[in-house]
Amino acid sequence: NNIKDGGATACGMFLSKNSTLRELHLGGNEIGDDGVVHIANGVRDNSSLNKLSLEWNQFGDTGVLALAEALKTNTSVSLLSVYGTSNKVGQEGKAALEALRESNGTRKIL
């Protein structure tokens, strides 16, 4: 699909207004930090999404930190997938994901 950051921005706007979507799979779409920040903003305001898959994209700590912050208030997402060698998550991002995992024992983070 290769929606990249522009498409991810649109997804974020959609998520902030949507109340029916349960799963969103955006793996392998060349989404960078800017796009993931927009998705995170949409996730923060969404109460229906259960699964978010962002594996095999091109974001790093900035995107992961935005997701971690959004998921502090969003309680509906039970599975977040960000694995993949294309993602450039460093120590700061990994620490944020681990803290998020520890704060909610039922949420799965891959």
DSSP code string of 37-58: HHHHHHHHT-SS--EEE--SS-
pLDDT band at 96 (very low <50, low <70, confident <90, very high): confident
Is 80 exceeded by the pLDDT of residue 89? Answer: yes
Rounded Cα distance, 55 and 53, in Å: 6
User: What pLDDT sits at residue 70?
Assistant: 93
User: What pLDDT sits at residue 7?
Assistant: 96
Rounded Cα distance, 103 and 37, in Å: 21
User: What pLDDT sits at residue 46?
Assistant: 95
User: What pLDDT sits at residue 65?
Assistant: 93
User: What pLDDT sits at residue 25?
Assistant: 96
